[in-house]
Structure 1
């Protein structure tokens, strides 16, 4: 026969939305009894595990909402293949202080050096610290902003992209932008200025952004806001994919001088 107190407790836990505690109630009670916990220690255990469960659930939801195209984590990044990377700066970014200060992050370097990996991993780390994030390719971003503008809904689209604590804009500069696209991107940068972190990956040095964005004046206005509070991470190594192809013999190995 089920103890009526246990049934009542389960109902109360359901009403209070303490889902993890309700699901693990028998296990928690057994742990408390086996370890002869005091009432205070047992209550501390229950609340601690419930909070951890809720935090993990929120993090999973935020990761889904971030729309990462790949599962990339900091522990999977091979720093030995990119010796030019400033590891102290990356470690600082892992703390999440840049998010708290609405500081931007520019990840610059040639294709294939791991910029997108770093961006996703850092944004994921921010999510684990309780922040929200969103990932989008630059081409998709300007397309969505242009479509919203055409339908008189640009302000709403800008509000959507201004909402996350971290907005990752990937591959800015891989495709040339029309002048209008550069202007729309400026509106987004202005909307997020000193309110949220923009994390941008690009294969173009900032000196080329005027040509890339189709308007030198707009590029200057964008960079003025982006660089005011920013960390610039520059990677100068060779493409991971090219290294793998060399290793597999698909492309010739580099000639060694001398």
Structure 2
């Protein structure tokens, strides 16, 4: 009877419930629980299993370059990183309020790590995230346009709760990239959150984007209500004494 029940759970893909029921059969914990408690245990196990699998799918779908955690950020280096500000960002209110976040600073100061850690945290809280190098995204959209799938790609990007554009402005925007950037910003403006990391100060983004009309349209939508993290100092990569123990 129990084996038949386990098989039905497996076929129904109730994997959390399956594991909990199987464990309880092996340990006889069920005997100390009421019927209501046992059902609650099975349902809670299934709930936790589905949530964990959902989080893992979200993390895989985000295409992060590496693992990152807010808890592992090192505040001991002088680089202008305010722990209180990071904690406020960790509340993810900026996603709920559809605000953008700019993380700027020289190379190696931990911009990408902080953005990625926020992305991981957002995935763990049920948000849909995508991490992408800005220049690579522009290249991907050019290919999509050639294939006739650009509108579908833009729609997919529009639906993301949090889009991380890393290394913004490292490569100049050509006319097609400028228009693609404008489409992305316009679609997401006041509806979704975009996190942008850049070595270039925000005040210089106008020149980086290029053409006056497009630059005005892009910056007018993202600059005025953004949250900013400005980092400074020497590259942390040069300061590391043990790369496995020092986190950005």
* Equivalence for 1:186: 182
Deviates more, 1:73-82 or 1:22-31: 22-31
Distance 1:13 1:240 in 2: 50
Q: Note if 1:142 corresponds to 2:138.
A: yes
TM-score by structure 1 length? 0.86
1:31-62: per-residue Cα shift (whole Å, max 9, x none)?
6336x122222222221121111111111111
1:106-143: per-residue Cα shift (whole Å, max 9, x none)?
11111110000011110000000011111110111111
Distance 1:210 1:90 in 2: 27
CA contact (8 A) 1:181 1:213 kept: no
What is the aligned counterpart of 2:210 among 199, 209, 214?
214
> What secondary structure sits across from 1:177 in the alignment?
coil
Distance 1:17 1:228 in 2: 48
Q: Note if 1:88 corresponds to 2:84.
A: yes
Distance 2:41 2:79 in 1: 44
1:69-103: per-residue Cα shift (whole Å, max 9, x none)?
11111122111114511222211111222222222
What is the aligned counterpart of 1:106 among 97, 102, 110?
102
CA contact (8 A) 2:79 2:109 kept: no
> What secondary structure sits across from 1:172 in the alignment?
coil
What is the aligned counterpart of 2:122 among 111, 126, 135?
126
* Equivalence for 1:117: 113
Distance 2:17 2:44 in 1: 10
Deviates more, 1:90-99 or 1:112-121: 90-99
> What secondary structure sits across from 1:80 in the alignment?
coil
Q: Note if 1:73 corresponds to 2:69.
A: yes
* Equivalence for 1:171: 167
CA pair 216-206 structure 1, distance change in 2 beyond 3 A: farther
* Equivalence for 2:14: 18
CA contact (8 A) 2:95 2:162 kept: yes
* Equivalence for 2:30: 33
Residues 4-15 of structure 1: matches in 2 within 5 Å? 4=1, 6-15=2-11
Q: Note if 1:223 corresponds to 2:222.
A: no
CA pair 23-49 structure 1, distance change in 2 beyond 3 A: closer
Q: Which runs of 5 or more structure 1 residues have no equivalent in the other structure?
A: 249-258
CA contact (8 A) 2:6 2:22 kept: no
Q: Note if 1:49 corresponds to 2:14.
A: no
How many residues are aligned here?
Answer: 241
> What secondary structure sits across from 2:167 in the alignment?
strand
Distance 1:66 1:237 in 2: 29
Q: Note if 1:241 corresponds to 2:241.
A: no
Q: Which runs of 5 or more structure 2 residues have no equivalent in the other structure?
A: 243-248
Distance 1:196 1:163 in 2: 8
